[in-house]
Structure 1
Amino acid sequence: MDLTYQWLYDAARDRFDSDDAMELFLPQALTPDELKRKGDDRCLSAMTQRIFQAGIQHAVVDAKWPAFEKAFSGFVPEAMARIGEADIEGHMQNARLIRHRAKLQTIPKNAQLILDIRREQGGSFVGFIADWPAADIIGLWRLLAKRGARLGGRSAAGFLRLVGKDTFLLTSDVVARLVTAGAIAQAPTSQRDLQAVQDTFNALRQSSGRSLCQLSAMLALSIHPAF
């Protein structure tokens, strides 16, 4: 099938009673300027939250996140980069946290990533994220997976969505629609397949003016109803 924006809009709109109802349902990304007003501590918090969400019900992680914020003093990167194994061991004794040692160990590693990017770019990490072009969001995924800790797979995109950066998500429904449309033959794992996905989103974005996150949601809606 030819995956045009008009077809996608009609397929997604069919799940709702009105245009307004669909628009209220679709996610909203922050603008680059809005995102830049966040601190790098919010990036490290969102990275860590997404890492803990992997393999665990998101609601469970979200309910415990205030305890994480308190235990890790708001995730200030400079302080978090200095966390050592003795500190990790202390957090492993905190019953208010999800005590997963390997995931806790990502905090100083990803704090160092933030500090390294700051040094290399001469600005904030959140500014670096905000200015990354949507037309190459898979390039940002690749950088985070390569240089970060446990940010491969869906975690890079999940982190970006949590912090407010516009990105698409490769959920099973999104992948199913892309396969049905012939954009890809199977769930994308190679860089060639990921580029084909990016190209499809870029074409839809150009023809619609919509954000990647909204197009992603519309692709998922075209497979299953919203409710």
Structure 2
Amino acid sequence: MTLDYRWLYDTVRKRFESDEAMEAFLPEALTPDELKQKGDDRYLSAMSQRVFQAGMQHSMVDAKWPAFEEAFWGFEPEKMVLLSPEQIEGYMKNDGIIRHLTKLRTIPKNARFILDIRQEKGCSFGEFIACWPSADIIGLWRLLAKRGARLGGRSAAGFLRLVGKDTFLLTSDVVARLMAAGIIDRAPTSQRDMQVVQDAFNELQQQSGRPLSHLSAMLSLSINPRF
């Protein structure tokens, strides 16, 4: 089964008063050059922010994030990787941040992940992210889940969306539309099912020329007009 982009566009367009209103609503991804220009401290900050968002109100985490930036000296990976277990435990006394020890412990681990990628690939982490092909975005999700700390499940895609890398999100509405179209028959969890979803997005992208972030939002809007 495949999804017809023209049907998807027409269905979503009805939710808006004008073409301009629809286009303005759709989430934009950064260009590869913009992703490369981001410092690796920004990637570690976003990883950490996404880790804390999981299971918590995003607005609460976002409101606390300036305090995190100050407490962790701007999240420079070279500094964060040196944090000792005792220093991490010391942050539990800081009432300006969210005191969740398990999540705090991911910061030096993800700093090490970033530095390892830099050493292995001979480029910045931002360049690594920028060069990953959108046609295999689920491969990047797998790598983040395998090598990053607490970046499995929806957190990989959530992190990529935070930094501006083009990705789709498997929200309940997106899954519902894919199921209604007969592309999948359940929420995808296996690598096989995830590849089927990736193939469906690749087909839509070929039909439309739109980024994955647009297509993901449009699929959601086709189910839920209040997306």
- Pairwise TM-score range, normalised by the shorter structure: over 0.9
1:183-202 equivalences in 2 (<5 Å): 183-202=183-202
Q: Distance in 1 between matches of 2:186 and 2:10?
A: 25
2:81 maps to what in 1?
Answer: 81
2:54 maps to what in 1?
Answer: 54
Paired amino acid for 1:26? L
2:133 maps to what in 1?
Answer: 133
- Say if 2:18 is the partner of 1:18: yes
Q: Distance in 2 between matches of 1:35 and 1:123?
A: 13
Q: Distance in 1 between matches of 2:183 and 2:30?
A: 28
Across the aligned residues of Structure 1 and Structure 2, the Cα RMSD in angstroms comes to 0.9
1:124-152 deviation line (CA, Å, top 9, x unaligned): 01100000000000000000100110000
Structure 1 length-normalised TM: 0.98
| TM-aligned CA deviation for residue 85 of structure 1 | 1.1
Q: Distance in 1 between matches of 2:13 and 2:104?
A: 42
1:63 maps to what in 2?
Answer: 63
SS at match of 1:24: helix
| TM-aligned CA deviation for residue 118 of structure 1 | 0.2
Q: Distance in 2 between matches of 1:87 and 1:16?
A: 51
Q: Is the 8 A contact 1:15 1:226 kept in 2?
A: no
2:213 maps to what in 1?
Answer: 213
| Percentage of pairs with the same residue | 73
Q: Distance in 2 between matches of 1:209 and 1:133?
A: 15
| TM-aligned CA deviation for residue 226 of structure 1 | 3.2
1:110-121 equivalences in 2 (<5 Å): 110-121=110-121
| TM-aligned CA deviation for residue 43 of structure 1 | 0.3
2:97 maps to what in 1?
Answer: 97
Q: For structure 1, which runs of at least 5 residues remain unmatched after alignment?
A: none
- Say if 2:22 is the partner of 1:29: no
1:157 maps to what in 2?
Answer: 157
Q: Distance in 2 between matches of 1:176 and 1:112?
A: 37
Q: Distance in 2 between matches of 1:89 and 1:156?
A: 26
Q: For structure 2, which runs of at least 5 residues remain unmatched after alignment?
A: none
Paired amino acid for 1:193? D
1:39 maps to what in 2?
Answer: 39
